[in-house]
Structure 1
Amino acid sequence: MTDIIKRNARAILLDGNELVLIKRTKPGRDPYWVSVGGGVEADDASVEAALHREVFEELGGKLERAELVHLITDELEGGIGVQHIFAARLESMDLAARTGSEFTKPERGGYEVARVPFTAEAVRDLNLMPPELAQFIAANTDAIASVVDTPFREG
C-alpha cells in the first residue's frame, strides 16, 4: 500500500446558482481558477474540519453543509496526495474576515473571488485546475446541486 503523504480538502462551492472559485493570477502564466480549499494540517480534527477552516481563511465564509463527493489522487515523490472534494453550499461570506497567509504574500500572485454560473458549459470554459476536477464537475452538475440541497437520510 502506498503512503498518503499529503491531503487537501476542496469545495465545489455553490452559492445560489453560482459556483464560487478563486481566480489565480501569476506573472508569466495565464490566469486559472481553483476551488476553495487547501492542505489538511496536523491540528485539523478531520478532513472536513480542514475544509471549514480553509473556507473561513479564503472567504471569511461558513458552510451550510458539505458532502464528500470525489477523490483525486496525485502521484508525489515518496507517496501519494489525496484531494478530498466536497460538494458544499455557502451559508455566509465576509471577505474582510479572510485570514489566509496567501493574501499577505504578493509574490504568490493574485487571489480573486470569482463567481460563475453553475453549468457544465461555464465550467468547461474556465481554465479550472486540476483538469480532473473540471471534468468531474462538468459531468455531474445536476448530482452535485442535488447533494448540497437534499439532506441525506438513511433507508
Structure 2
Amino acid sequence: MRALLVTPGGGVLLIRRTRPGVPAYWVLPGGGIEPGDASLEAAAIREVREETGAVPELDRLIHIADIGEHGRHAVFLGRIDYWSAEARTGPEFAIAANGLYDFDEFPLVPSTFTGRVVRPTLTSAFVAGALHTGGNLFELPDLRAHNRLRWGPRESLPA
C-alpha cells in the first residue's frame, strides 16, 4: 500500500528512487503488509513511518491500483507534518545496492504526476485526472466503505 501525503505547504511528498543503471523515478511512500499489521491502514502508517521518519494522518482510501504480478496497491490520502531521513527505520535503507531514497516535495498539481515517472503509475494517472478536473482530493470517496477485497501479507492469502 501507498500514501499520497499532503505537506503543510499544500504540496505532495514523494520519494525519489535512484538506483544504478535505472533512470530516476518517484514513488508514493509505502510498502507491503506484514503479519503483525492489524489492518490495511495500520500497515500504511507503519510503512510511511519507516520510510519518512514521521507518522501520517491518513484520511481516506482513494485508489486501488492493480499492478499485475506485483499485486495491488491500496493508496491512502493523508497529511504529513514533517519528515526526516535520519529518523527512517525501514530495512531497505541498510542495503547499499538498493540505491538512494531521497525526499522531494512537489506542488499538488497535475503536472507533478504527468511530468515525471511517479509509481504506481495507475495511481499517478488517477490523481492527475482528479486534480485536472479541479477536484479536491479530500472530497474523493473513501473506498474503505465500499471495498470488499481481502488484504493481507502475500504468504497468508490463499492461492
TM-score calculated relative to the size of structure 2: 0.79
Query: Any unmatched runs of 5+ in structure 1?
Result: 1-8, 148-155
Contact 2:64 2:123 in 1 (8 A): no
Query: Any unmatched runs of 5+ in structure 2?
Result: 141-159
- Kindly report the root-mean-square deviation, in angstroms, between the aligned alpha carbons of the 2 structures: 1.6
Q: Which residue of 2 aligns with 1:41?
A: 34
SS in 2 for 1:126: coil
SS in 2 for 1:91: coil
- The one of 17, 23, 36 equivalent to 1:30 is 23
Q: Which residue of 1 aligns with 2:126?
A: 136
- The one of 114, 121, 124 equivalent to 1:124 is 114
Determine if the alignment matches structure 1 residue 109 to structure 2 residue 99.
yes
- Percent identity (aligned): 35
Structure 2: how far apart are the matches of 1:75 and 1:29?
21
Structure 2: how far apart are the matches of 1:127 and 1:137?
13
Higher strand share: 1
Structure 1: how far apart are the matches of 2:67 and 2:92?
23
Greater shift, 27-36 or 57-66, is seen at 57-66
Deviation at 1:17, TM superposition (A): 1.4
Deviation at 1:146, TM superposition (A): 4.2
Determine if the alignment matches structure 1 residue 61 to structure 2 residue 61.
no
TM-score calculated relative to the size of structure 1: 0.81
Q: Which residue of 2 aligns with 1:21?
A: 14
Question: Structure 1 counterpart of 2:115, which letter?
Answer: D
Q: Which residue of 1 aligns with 2:4?
A: 12
Q: CA-to-partner distance for each residue in 1:3-55, whole Å, 9 max, x for gaps?
A: xxxxxx10011103111010001111110000000001111001100011011
SS in 1 for 2:116: coil
SS in 1 for 2:51: helix
Structure 2: how far apart are the matches of 1:103 and 1:59?
11
Aligned residues: 136
Question: Structure 2 counterpart of 1:33, which letter?
Answer: W
SS in 1 for 2:31: strand
Question: Structure 1 counterpart of 2:26, which letter?
Answer: W
SS in 2 for 1:140: helix
Question: Moved runs in structure 1, 4+ residues, more than 4 A?
Answer: none
Q: Which residue of 2 aligns with 1:153?
A: none
Question: Structure 1 counterpart of 2:103, which letter?
Answer: V
